[in-house]
A and B are shown apart, each in its own frame.
Chain A
Amino acid sequence: MTTFADVRSRLARPQQRKYLPLYATLALLALMYGSGVVQYEAFSDPQVVLNVFIDNGFLLVVAVGMTFVILTGGIDLSVGSVVALTTMVSAALLEQAHWPAFVVLPIALLIGPTLGFAMGCIIHYFEIQPFIVTLAGMFLARGLCYSIGTESIRINDPFWTSMGDAIHIGEYRISASVIIALVVVLVAAYVLAFTRFGRNTYAIGGNPRSAHLMGLPIARTRIGVYTISGFCSALGGVLFTFYLPSGNSLHAIGMELDAIAAVVIGGTLLTGGSGFVLGTVLGVLVLGLIQTLINFDGRLSSWWTRIVIGVLLFAFILLQRLITPRKR
């Protein structure tokens, strides 16, 4: 329910407030990087940051898709499974059916959007919670993985393996995935900031009822964001196979949590309507830097990553809670 007071408080809200989580994430990132540089000599090498991008390129793409969904106030739990399904389908088609790479690639990229489109339709037309629909999608995609095969399939296709090779720029190296991921980020940022679709996305997340009353195309937008998220997951899956040339039904278990965490730490409101793709990039960098710091430390075990992510998630959700005015 939108009341006059609600609208007024929204309008009266200082515009700066929506950047606050972004600044917090940026500060956190600077703090983490600074502490790394102070503690470890090798940390100041720019390659460390590039490695974070190389190791998290696929997560970045998936998280960008998740940003669209969360901006509308929804959630997509199926992303991890779709990544796994994409790796599995590409590996099976390439290595077992021996299809050429240029045929496999479009097929692999089509799985995600198709599933996303179907889930979006169910969510919109039958008014079922996104949480439960994408949960079913998660089961479905993971189940399809298992029915393709339970064994890991190695990819030896020359195109695929060549995409995983490092690209040297001067003395530094990045991978094709990093470039693709950054292109995705730029396109997503452009779509959200400067297109009608992007504005509709924000409007639906801000207040679906008023968006409806304003005559915005809710169906198209809502189904669109799930399709985008599906596409990003599929692309993430392809990048995953570039990074790790194999198909495995156990790939990317729990990646949906990482993606959601990255989006939240990046300052996107979980209730929808406010957030930036740039924030998501920062969120992914925070997750990547945590991993890097723990690797550099050497004494801490890998499970500290999850605990630290949990703590950060808590801190940022609390921050969100503090800066959003209570409704009614």
Chain B
Amino acid sequence: MNTVVKHRLFWPVAMLVVLLLSNLIFTPTFFNVEVRDGHLYGSLVDIVRFGAPLIMVALGMTLVIATGGIDLSVGSVVAICGALACWRISEQGDQNSVGGVLVAVALALGLALLLGAWNGFLVAVVGIQPIIATLILMVAGRGLAQLITDGQIITINSSPYKRIGGGYLWTVPVAILIALAVMALAVLLTRRTALGMLIESVGGNAEASRLAGIHSRRITLMAYIVAGLCAGIAGLMISSNVSSADGNNAGLWYELDAILAVVIGGTSLAGGRFSIAGTVVGALLIQTLTTTIYTTGIPPETTLLFKALVVTIVCLVQSPAFRAKVFQGRRRRPAAPPAGPTAATTEKVEVPA
């Protein structure tokens, strides 16, 4: 029992279970999952389906945070990619042509790669603090998205595109399948190859990793590219689900939700160790929270209050200083002087030439 409680995924999973069970009180049919018209239906399916974009963004964010960085631009990338895909589809004569949709998707994902590479370049090659480097794209990105949509909300009517976020394949929503595939790929690449260890070592100490013969720059660059790509896929899912692209509001505050999901999942913001399973649980937790608030009739405006509470609690519990002060009283003083977490972490993420 003790080992179960000590497991780092215990608390997030426990919270998720409690939230799900509390739903059962308000909606007794909450756990019902049925197949209707060859489609999977049910509240649980909806949670995963609407949570899929967040899972995608949070997966990419996990890798970036694992290298000791952070990516604030994912929300903007979501908006840009949705906008580009929808614009491309709206420009073509036959919106239902599969070829045209594929071209649009490829274009959008290509742009996402490029945007991720830009962030990675600024962080890994130029050596700018990650928060600041990605802030640039966060600010300019919304403008770019509106530039693509010309300030309008582009509405499209394309059934092949609609399938990405709203369609079904083998009775399962396509969005869930995509998220599962990316998740599996991420786990496979990071846990079955040396890649995961390399990322953790770069996050732990970029300089030491470089001296040990790891291409820290290349690893960091790759993490941001993957984050961009994941955000791009999420952008496609979101815009496809509503068949429209809104440069202003698509993916608004997604970066914050994604960071929250990663933190809840037990990945430390200081970099070094990461847990993909934890991130997925974190993302599901956030989505369940949102769904719960809607179904139980609590005013949806309070979602943000809950999130604030969750972020604070999770961060406090993760903080060694808090544990030392609260759980062990004043007997053992923390060894390090309160020299400032910012200085320590920013020094760590700087990648030297």
Contact = CB atoms under 8 A, between A and B. Distances in A.
A222 B341 CA distance: 12
Name A's interface SS: helix
Nearest to B270: A129
B139 A132 contact: no
A306 B142 contact: yes
B341 A139 contact: no
A127 B347 CA distance: 16
Given A137-B308, A212-B339, A321 B127 contact: yes
A311 B301 contact: no
Given A144-B305, A306-B140, A306-B143, A129 B129 contact: no
Given A142-B304, A314-B136, A328 B338 contact: no
Interface string B306-348: 1110011001100111100100000000000111111101110
A132 B256 CA distance: 9
B142 to A, nearest CB: 6
Nearest to A142: B304
Interface stretch (A8-16, A18-26, A173-181, A297-305): A297-305
B56 interface: no
Interface stretch (B28-36, B144-152, B208-216): B144-152
A307 interface: yes
A197 interface: no
A130 interface: yes
B259 interface: yes
A182 B345 CA distance: 36
B128 interface: yes
A306 B151 CA distance: 13
Interface in A42-86: 73-75
Contact of A305 (B132, B143, B305): B143
B259 A150 contact: no
A124 B338 contact: yes
Name B's interface SS: helix
A10 B301 CA distance: 50
Given A301-B151, A317-B132, A317-B136, A204 B340 contact: yes
Contact of B256 (A73, A139, A260): A139
B140 A310 contact: yes
A103 to B, nearest CB: 26
A144 B311 CA distance: 16
B352 A326 contact: yes
Contact of B146 (A142, A272, A303): A303
B143 A270 contact: no
A147 B302 contact: yes
Contacts of B63: none
A193 B40 CA distance: 66
A271 B338 contact: no
A314 B118 CA distance: 12
A303 B151 contact: yes
B342 A135 contact: no
Interface string A265-281: 00000111000000000
B338 A136 contact: no
B139 A147 contact: no
Nearest to B207: A328
Contacts of A238: none
Given A126-B321, A132-B263, A219-B338, A140 B305 contact: yes
B247 interface: yes
B304 A143 contact: yes
Given A143-B301, A261-B139, A307 B338 contact: no
Interface in A292-328: 301-307, 309-311, 313-314, 317-318, 321, 326-328
A220 interface: no
B148 to A, nearest CB: 10
Interface residues of B, number: 58
A131 B70 contact: yes
B301 A150 contact: yes
B279 to A, nearest CB: 16
B268 to A, nearest CB: 10
Interface in B123-139: 126-129, 131-133, 135-139
A270 B129 CA distance: 9
Nearest to A222: B340
Interface string A209-220: 100100000110
A122 interface: yes
B156 interface: no
B311 to A, nearest CB: 4
Given A260-B135, A310-B143, A128 B315 contact: yes
B290 interface: no
Contacts of A302: 151
A209 B142 contact: no
A133 interface: yes
A311 B299 CA distance: 40
A75 B341 contact: no
A271 B129 contact: yes
B269 interface: yes
B305 A139 contact: yes
6 contacts: A209-B343, A261-B139, A310-B136, A313-B140, A317-B128, A327-B347
Given A125-B321, A303-B142, 7 more contacts: A126-B315, A126-B325, A129-B342, A132-B269, A140-B304, A304-B147, A311-B140
Interface of A: 1, 73-75, 122-133, 135-140, 142-144, 146-147, 150, 204, 207-209, 212, 218-219, 222, 249, 257, 260-261, 264, 270-272, 301-307, 309-311, 313-314, 317-318, 321, 326-328
> What 3 pairs across the A-B complex have the smallest Cβ distances?
A310-B140, A306-B143, A146-B301
